[in-house]
Structure 1
Amino acid sequence: MVAVIGFLMIIAIVVLLLKGKMSPIVVLAVVPAVAALILRFSPVEIMAFIADGIKTTTSNGILFIFSVIYFGVLADTGLFDVIVGWLVKKAGNNVIAVTVVTAVIATIAHLDGTTAVTVLITIPSMYPVYKKMKIDPRILLCLTGACMGVMNLLPWGGPTARAATVLEMDATELWHMLIPLQVVGLVMNIALAVVLGMVAIKHGAGLGKGEEVAVDEKEKKEEASLRKSNAFLIFNFLLTAGVIALLSTGIGKSYVVFMLGLCILLAVNYPDQKLQDKLIKKHAPAALIISATLFAAGAMVGVFDGTGMLEAMANAIMAIIPAALGKYIHIIFGILALPLGLCVGTDAYFYGIMPLVMQVGETYGVASLNTALTMLIGKNLALMVSPLVPATYLAIGLTGTELKDHMKFSIPPYYLVSLMMLVFGVILGIVTI
């Protein structure tokens, strides 16, 4: 009964999010609470579950607030315009070069491991080019998500750190094992960019004049007034490199690093209180919406864990796997990683399902590390098509694309890349059978 309610809850969440009739915050917080009531848990118990779940996302929520504002202000200074402008200039009017440059920008942008930042850097800078050259914006979303998924294997990206926590090992040590697969994934993303560029040409991209993205003149002048000189941009680059270096070393909490970085960035570039307040207010809405959605997702995770739905669902899935396939359970869940990643939040996946699968695998002689590696690969590729990831809504909002259209277009290539990475993992001996 518990497992059935759990599966029905997941289906209800996905359907409501796909229909777009309710805010993700409402869906992720209310639907699990209703499911818990059906399972006869009291309101007091449910509130306790939600509170416990939100605790697990508090640091990430604070991180989103400061990181989104930091990179938003950084973009205002014009630093990314210099890098992106150079790359776009090199691409010219070549459609395939534009799609390849998109992959390169998204890869560089995700060095910090923050999904919202990657979206805010890649999509606004490339979207006008796509409109002008009549390239389907779904290609922009697809390439951004693919590069984000592969780069998210970095130890400070989140999923690798979560998997390392479950394995009780160092995240950097786990990442070192994944580096060859990360290289394979990056090469595949460039190949995907070339293929999608060819598809775009086939559909008329680059032929004739496209559509110019409307820019408010007042807004354009305001943006120009915020641009800084080369001396400031060099300082901003060094500051950002320092912030990312601190994040990679794990010295201090990530949100503290971004908070201090934001303070320095504002103080040096815009030493005027009114302007500082204005810039914070400018980027705060995106930061707060993402953080609020993350807290709502935490509420869902809390109900999942507190009611025992997650364990019941995982056991139900495992019950249908024949005993003869037990020694291949890591490969099975490696293949299912992307579909599961679409329906289950990151914390629920790594802290709920993964430990159970690892435990079952151990009984069949499959090492926990082996299971974790296979489940880590595919989950990352599901990152920007999952209805449970706040950055997904940010990305589709920036391009005016429907979630269902983005999912239909991007899931097939993502699944192909994830399966190919799994195959290469076996070939390279990273994953053993």
Structure 2
Amino acid sequence: MLLAICGFLMLFTILFLLFKSKTLPVVVFITIPVIAAFAAGFSIEEVVSFVEFGISKTSKMAVLFIFSVTFFGVMSDAGMFDGLVNKLVTKAGTNVVAVAIATAIIGIFSHLDGATVTTVLVTVPAMLPIYKKLNIRPHLLLMIVGCGMGVMNLLPWGGPVMREAIVLKMDAGDLWHILLPMQGAGIVATLALAVVMALKEKKFHGAGQVAVVEDAQGAVKLEEVDDEVLRLKRPHLAWVNLGVLLLMLIVLVIDVFPTYFVFMVGCCVALLINYPNMKEQKARMMAHAPAAIDVSSVMLAAGIMVGVLSKSGMLEAMAVPLLHVIPASIAQYLHIIMGIFAFPLGTMLGTDSYFYGLLPLAIEVGKNYQIPGLTMAIAMLVGKNLALLISPLVPATYLGIGLANVELKEHIRYSFLGLWIVGLVMLVFAFFIGIL
């Protein structure tokens, strides 16, 4: 009981401090979990083991973030995305809806490999300049990408489906065939969400109002660019830079080397090609260091929270009272209840803890009320998937907000309701076609 109380107090305190901006996220993620672990009665040796486990889970992601941010920063400085951005802006004009739909399509197709980090790295840096030029808040970009990613993560090689198949002791492909209609509905819902939110951005936040200026010859330009930015451009190397990026993406898909190592090498190549002078290389590294260090430090700090939650048994202890407070009169609808609250629960729980901790417990409780394990599993899958890119426990969340330069609390506030609604739409669709 003490373990559950400490776990709930820890999560509520962390969420309160984050949303109220009482202190830096780094401070919150480091101090509160450690205090909670000691309050629960764990020894120094045990707390150290929790910390080491958590850091081991996030350290590679922190390294990846440092070098991926620097890589895309250097490539952006050199103007690698300028041609793509200008073409898309020319085609779409000030059509915010067209840009949002394009983002959804890119997000959906880029997640075919099921790799969360790759999807974020492909979509956010490429689309962000377009959002800036059209005065669209980057929050929308993250929301659409997160939604497309969550829907496409229902593929059989996606982590959540594979975990659920293991729990259910069935083939992941067979499970996917059952989920396929829901995935189709989710793709449609993602496109609809993109349209609705784009119209909202246009109506209430002035999206699409591009500031235009004229050059000396009277030609219209999208924006004024200062001399320092122009000095860093390398238009003659644009195709070379795109070739480097394409080669890196191929290596990432083939999965020969660790993702962080690919970006470490890519960062070196980008610096050597575009800024061969050591003084320029140092200046580019220093220019992108604040963003890289700021978010990577939060990733490492979040690892402590992950370690305490995962290895202390707090999550399991917290799940038991949550499931047992449900009145017997509505227990037969437990799968519906869990499906509705899968999204907020998925936001607060890590993937392994959710599928290997909470899900088996919910299935066992459901069996007492004649709810099949498969039904419970399907109901709980969709919401968790859609919470993928707003969960503070998912490293890719920090990668996304870091690349888009959006605060975590603002990202969650903006995306939470829209993503939850998409999950509920998919759940209702599954109910009407008989999957649930």
Q: Structure 1 residues 292 and 229, CA, compared in 2 at 3 Å: closer, same or farther?
A: closer
TM-score computed with the length of structure 2 as normaliser: 0.78
Would you say the 8 A contact 1:330–1:361 is kept in 2?
Answer: yes
2:14 aligns with 13
1:405 and 1:173 mapped to 2: Cα distance? 38
Please say if 1:309 is aligned against 2:314: yes
Give the alignment partner of residue 259 of structure 1, picking from 258, 261, 266.
261
Question: Aligned-pair RMSD on alpha carbons?
Answer: 3.9
Q: Which runs of 5+ in 1 are unaligned?
A: none
Please say if 1:124 is aligned against 2:134: no
Q: Structure 1 residues 120 and 201, CA, compared in 2 at 3 Å: closer, same or farther?
A: closer
Q: Structure 1 residues 260 and 416, CA, compared in 2 at 3 Å: closer, same or farther?
A: closer
Would you say the 8 A contact 2:107–2:145 is kept in 1?
Answer: yes
2:165 and 2:133 mapped to 1: Cα distance? 40
TM-score computed with the length of structure 1 as normaliser: 0.79
Amino acid at match of 2:228: K
3-state SS of paired residue (1:416): helix
1:203 aligns with 204
Give the alignment partner of residue 242 of structure 1, picking from 223, 247, 250.
250
Which residues in structure 2 correspond to 1:25-424 (within 5 Å)?
25-57=26-58, 60-61=61-62, 64=65, 80-110=81-111, 112-114=115-117, 116-117=120-121, 120-121=124-125, 124-131=128-135, 135-154=136-155, 158-164=159-165, 166-167=167-168, 175=176, 177-203=178-204, 205=206, 210=211, 217-222=227-232, 224-225=233-234, 228-230=237-239, 233-234=242-243, 236-237=245-246, 239-247=247-255, 256=258, 259-260=261-262, 263=265, 266-267=268-269, 270=272, 274=278, 286=291, 289-389=294-394, 391-392=396-397, 403-424=408-429
2:68 and 2:169 mapped to 1: Cα distance? 27
1:172 and 1:56 mapped to 2: Cα distance? 28
Would you say the 8 A contact 2:71–2:270 is kept in 1?
Answer: no
Would you say the 8 A contact 1:119–1:144 is kept in 2?
Answer: yes
Q: Structure 1 residues 122 and 177, CA, compared in 2 at 3 Å: closer, same or farther?
A: farther
Alpha-carbon shift at residue 378 of structure 1 (Å): 0.8
2:361 and 2:223 mapped to 1: Cα distance? 49
Q: Encode CA deviations 1:142-175: one digit per residue, 9 max, x unaligned.
A: 3343233334445666444544555566666655
1:92 and 1:216 mapped to 2: Cα distance? 23
Alpha-carbon shift at residue 92 of structure 1 (Å): 0.8
Would you say the 8 A contact 1:330–1:371 is kept in 2?
Answer: yes
1:24 aligns with 25
Would you say the 8 A contact 1:153–1:182 is kept in 2?
Answer: yes
Alpha-carbon shift at residue 336 of structure 1 (Å): 0.6
**Most deviating of 46-55 and 275-284:** 275-284
Alpha-carbon shift at residue 89 of structure 1 (Å): 2.3
Alpha-carbon shift at residue 13 of structure 1 (Å): 0.6
Q: Encode CA deviations 1:376-429: one digit per residue, 9 max, x unaligned.
A: 211222233334445555655666656555444332221110101122233455
Report how many aligned residue pairs link the two structures.
Answer: 420
Would you say the 8 A contact 2:96–2:208 is kept in 1?
Answer: no
1:108 and 1:76 mapped to 2: Cα distance? 27
1:213 and 1:352 mapped to 2: Cα distance? 52
Alpha-carbon shift at residue 121 of structure 1 (Å): 1.8
Amino acid at match of 1:308: G
1:385 and 1:321 mapped to 2: Cα distance? 27
Q: Structure 1 residues 94 and 362, CA, compared in 2 at 3 Å: closer, same or farther?
A: same
Q: Structure 1 residues 185 and 48, CA, compared in 2 at 3 Å: closer, same or farther?
A: same
Q: Structure 1 residues 337 and 12, CA, compared in 2 at 3 Å: closer, same or farther?
A: same
Would you say the 8 A contact 1:54–1:298 is kept in 2?
Answer: yes
Q: Which runs of 5+ in 2 are unaligned?
A: 213-221
Would you say the 8 A contact 2:138–2:404 is kept in 1?
Answer: yes
Amino acid at match of 1:117: L
- Is the radius of gyration larger for structure 1 or structure 2? 2
